[in-house]
Amino acid sequence: MATGRYDLAVIGGGSAGFAAAIEGAQRGARVLLVEEGTIGGTCVNVGCVPSKTLLAAAEVRHTAQGGRFRGLATSPGEVDLAAVVAEKDELVAELRKAKYLDVLDAYPNIALRRGHATVRGTGRLAVDGDEFTVRAVVLATGARPWAPPSDGLAQAGYWTSTEALSPPRRPQHLLVLGGSAVGLELGQMYARMGSRVTIVEALDRLAPGEDPSVGPALAGYLAEEGITSHVGVQVRRVSRTDKGYVVDAQEAGGGTLTLTGDALLVATGRRPHTEGLGLEEAGIERTGRGAVKVNRRLETTVPGVYAAGDVTGEAMFVYVAAHQGTVAAQNALSEGEGREEDLSAVPRVTFTDPSIAAVGFTEAEARAQGLDVRTSVLPLGYVPRALANRDVRGFIKLVAEVGTDRIVGVHILAPNAGEMITEGTLAVRFELTLQDLRDTLHPYLTFGEGLKLAALSFDQDVTKLSCCAG
C-alpha cells in the first residue's frame, strides 16, 4: 500500500464507510479506505444479518410447536445449535464477500489499507506510522456494546450480542440485562430454541423507547412463551460461582430480587468507538457520551473532517449510517454543496414476534413539540389477514395533527410490523393525511390494509364496514 495523496480518506469499513468510499469513487475521487478489523462492520458480521437468520431459525422451531390451527400436528424436535450457528456463519461470510469485499473490485480508485488510523488534523492522516496527505476525512468507526458499571459485572464476565450470536452451547437459563431491541430479540430467540429466559429492564416497561402501549402488550405475549420479564429493576451486584450467575437487584417498590442463571447477556446499549483515533489531539470535539460532534452537514469541529454512522451517536441503524456516509462524502468533496442529512422520518424495527415498528412522534412527543394531536388504536383483530392467519396479536396506532389530519406518528405491534412501516414512513416524511391513506387502494388480505383501517377508525366504526369498504 503506497503512501501519498488522496482526495478522501475513510476510516472504517462498515456501512457508513463503504457508502462514503463508493460516493467518493463515483465522483472520480481517489479514495483511501482504512479498516483495522473485519470488513463489513457491525451489521453483516455481528449485527443485523447473523441475528435475523438465527431469529428466523428460532421462529421455524416455534411454529412447529403448532396450536394455531386445528387438525395440524407438528413437533419442534431437538436443536442442533452448532449446525444452526455454522449455517449462520456461512451466510455472514457470503454476504461479507458479496456486499463488501467484491464491491471494492468494481472501484479501482478505492485503495484498501489494513491498519489503525490516526487523524492528525486537517489534511493529514497516519496509518500504522505511514503518513498520508488527504483532502478530507470521513470518520466511520461505528460503535461497540456498552455495559453499565454494575458491581461485580466485569469480574463475573458476560455475553454481549457478539458472543450471544456464536454461543458455545445453549444455556439452560439465560439472564438478559436490557429490555430494548437487542435484549428482546435475542431473549426470544433463545427461548424459542429451548432455553429458559428472564429479562431485566431498569425502566418501567419493556421497549422503553417505544410508545407506552407497546411494552406491556409485548410483555404479555412473551409471557405466553414462558419468558419472564422484570421492569423497574436496578441491578446492584453481579457475581459468578461454579453453579452460574447470581444477579442481585432492587425493585422500584423497594423490594429485592435475586436471579440465577447459567448465562448472562448484557444488552444495555452501544457507545461510539472513538478511542485511539487522535481526536482530542486533532481538536475534534465529542459529546458527553463520546460521540463525534457534527453539524447537519456531518462536519466535525475540525474543517475537512467529517463523521458518519454510529460514531455520531445518532440513530444507530445501518440504513442511517449509509445515508450519512453518502452525505458526508458529498460534502467533503464538493465546494458549496452543503447537503444536510435528512433524519426527519427514521423508521425503526425490533424483530421480536410480534415485531415492533415505528416512525415519527409518539402522542407525548408530539404534544411536547407543541402539536395538538389525536390518536387511533386499531387492534389487529380487526385486520382480516390477521384473522385468516389465526394470529391477532398486536395493534396499529396512528398519531395525527388536529385540524390538518397530517400523520405525524405510526406505531405498530404486529407479526409483520417491519414490512408495514415503510408506508408509514412515507406518510410521515411527505406529510400525508388520514384521507390520503383512506383514498389509497390497499390489497385485501394483507397486513398493510391495517393502516387504511386504522385511518378509517378515527371517524368510523370499522366493525360496521364490509370487506374492503372505506
Question: Exposure pattern of 170-180 as b/e (b: 16+ CB <10 Å)?
Answer: bbebbbbbbbb
Q: What is the pLDDT of residues 199-219, one digit of tens each?
A: 999 999 999 999 999 999 999
Cα separation, 390 vs 392, in Å, equals 6
What is the fold of 4-145+271-333? FAD/NAD(P)-binding domain (3.50.50)
Q: What are the domain boundaries of the chain?
A: 4-145+271-333, 153-268, 348-460
Question: Exposure pattern of 424-447 as b/e (b: 16+ CB <10 Å)?
Answer: bbbbbeeebbbebbbeeebeeebb
Using a pLDDT cut of 90, give the percent of the chain over it: 94
pLDDT of residue 122: 87
What are the cell numbers at 119?
487523524
CATH number of 153-268: 3.50.50.60
In this chain, the answer to whether the domains covering 4-145+271-333 and 348-460 adopt an identical fold is no
Helix axes 15-26, 318-333, angle to 10 degrees: 30
Strand partners, 395: 379, 413
pTM for this prediction: 0.96
- Please report, for residues 40, 64, 188, 337, 350, the alpha-carbon distance to residue 53 in angstroms, rounded to integers and kept in the order given: 17, 17, 13, 40, 14
Residue carrying C-alpha cell 453453579:
243
pLDDT of residue 67: 84
Mean pLDDT, residues 360-371: 98
**Checking DSSP bridges between strand 355-360 and strand 228-231, what pairing results, if any?**
unpaired
Helix axes 48-64, 81-96, angle to 10 degrees: 140
Q: Which three-class secondary structure state does DSSP give residue 52?
A: helix
Q: What is the pLDDT of residues 118-163, one digit of tens each?
A: 999 889 999 998 999 999 999 999 999 999 999 999 999 999 999 9
CB 442 within 8 A of CB 435: no
Helix axes 214-224, 181-192, angle to 10 degrees: 10
Helix axes 417-429, 449-456, angle to 10 degrees: 60
Residue carrying C-alpha cell 395493534:
395
CATH number of 348-460: 3.30.390.30
